[in-house]
Amino acid sequence: MKCNDCFQQISNYLEGEIDAALRRELEEHLGKCHRCQVVYDSTRKTIELYCDGKLFELPVGVRARLHAALRRHWEGQIR
Amino acid sequence: MAESPQVALKDDSALVTEAKAGSYAAFEELVNRYEKKIYRLGMNLTGNPEDAEDVLQEAFLKAFVHLPDFREDSRFYTWLVRIAVNEGLMKLRKRRSDKSVAIEDKVDDEGDVMPRDFADWKPNPEQQYAQAEIEAILRNSAQSLSPGFRTVFLLRDVDGLSTQETAEILGISEGAVKARLFRARLQLREELSKIFKRG
Ligand SMILES: [Zn+2]
C-alpha cells in the first residue's frame, strides 16, 4: 500500500467501514510508516477532542435563561 | 433541578407523547437531555458564545412550538438537531451578509486532500492548555472549514448521527456526507496540527 492510498482510507478505517483484506494492508502500512501513523493518530485525536464531554460546558446563566424562556412560552400557551 | 424519577427514566418517544399531551415536565426532561449537546453544536457551528446561546434558545423554542407537528418518523434528537442546524446556518448567513465575509466554498468537493503536516503531536494536548484555551482553539479551527463541511463533521463525529440521518438533515447524498467527512477530518487535523505538534 502507498501512503496516498492509506490517507484515502484512514477515514473509512476510523468508521470501521473497510473490508478485512484492506484493513490488514492498512494496518501493516501503519505499522511501518511513521508519517501515516502520525496522520492516523492525530485524526483520531482530533475527533476525540471535539467529543470531549468536559469541554463546552453549558454555562449556568445560559441554561437558566433557556429554561426561563421556555417556561414563559409554556405559560403563555396555556392561557 | 427537581424532577420526578419517573420522568427521568422514560425514553424520548414516551416523553414526546407526554409533552404533546401537555406535560411540561416531560418537555423539560427532553431539554435537560439535549441542551448541553445543542449548545456545543452551536458553539462549534457559529464559533461564538452569543450565537451559540441564540441557537440553543431558538432551537428549543421552535421544538416546543412545532412539537404538535413532529410526526415521529425520526428520533426526537435528530429532529431537534435539524432545527438547531438550520438556526446555526441562518446565523452564519446573516453574519455573512452583514459583514460581507465569504464563508462558503472555501473548499470544494473536488480534488485530492493531502495531509501536509507529519509532525508528531504532543501527548494529551487537552491537558496542556487551560480549558477556555482549548475550547477557543477547537472553535476557531472548526471555523476554518466551510459550513457545509463543518456541519457534516459536527453531526457525524461529535453528535453521533448516522450517515443517513446527516444526509437527510442536510439534503445531500450519503456519498457526499462520507466525502465531506473525510475531507473535514483531514482539514481539521491539519489546522490543529499547527498548534498541537511537538515544538
Ligand atoms: Zn505511509
Query: What's the pLDDT tens digit per position in B39-62?
Result: 999 999 999 999 999 999 999 999
Using CB atoms and an 8 Å cut-off, which of residues 6-65 of chain A contact chain B? 7-8, 10-12, 14, 34-35, 38-39, 41-43, 45-47, 49-52, 54-59, 62-63, 65
Residues comprising chain B, all counted: 199
Report CB contact under 8 Å: B188, A46: yes
Domains of chain B in start order, with CATH, are: 1-98 (1.10.1740.10), 121-199 (1.10.10.10)
Q: Which amino acid belongs to residue A6? A: C
pTM of the model: 0.91
Q: Which residues of B touch A35 (CB under 8 A)?
A: 115, 118
What would the grid cell of residue B86 be? 438550520
The total of structural domains in chain A comes to 1
- Give Cβ neighbours of residue A22 (< 8 Å, ≥ 6 apart): A9
**What is the domain range of residue A70?**
3-78
List Cα–Cα distances, B148 to B23, B35, B53, B58, B104, in angstroms.
Answer: 37, 23, 21, 21, 8
C-alpha neighbours within 13 Å on the C-beta side of residue B129: 17
DSSP conformation class of B176: H
List Cα–Cα distances, B53 to A27, A72, B4, B84, B160, in angstroms.
Answer: 43, 17, 27, 11, 21
Report CB contact under 8 Å: B115, A49: no
For the ranges A19-23, A75-79, B176-180, the lowest mean pLDDT is seen at A75-79
Q: Which residues of A touch B154 (CB under 8 A)?
A: 50
List Cα–Cα distances, B160 to B98, B150, B165, B166, in angstroms.
Answer: 32, 14, 10, 9
Whether A47 contacts B157, CB under 8 Å: yes
C-alpha neighbours within 13 Å on the C-beta side of residue B30: 28
User: Phi and psi (nearest 5°) for B121?
Assistant: -90, 155
Query: What's the pLDDT tens digit per position in A28-70?
Result: 999 999 999 999 999 999 999 999 989 999 999 999 999 999 9
Report CB contact under 8 Å: A45, B188: no
pLDDT at B109: 56
User: How buried is residue A76: exposed, middle or buried, by Cβ count under 10 Å (0-12/13-18/19+)?
Assistant: exposed
The parts of chain B modelled with pLDDT lower than 70 are 1-5, 98-112
State mean pLDDT over A68-75. Answer: 93
pLDDT at B105: 43
User: Shortest CA distance to B105 belongs to which of B170, B150, B57?
Assistant: B150
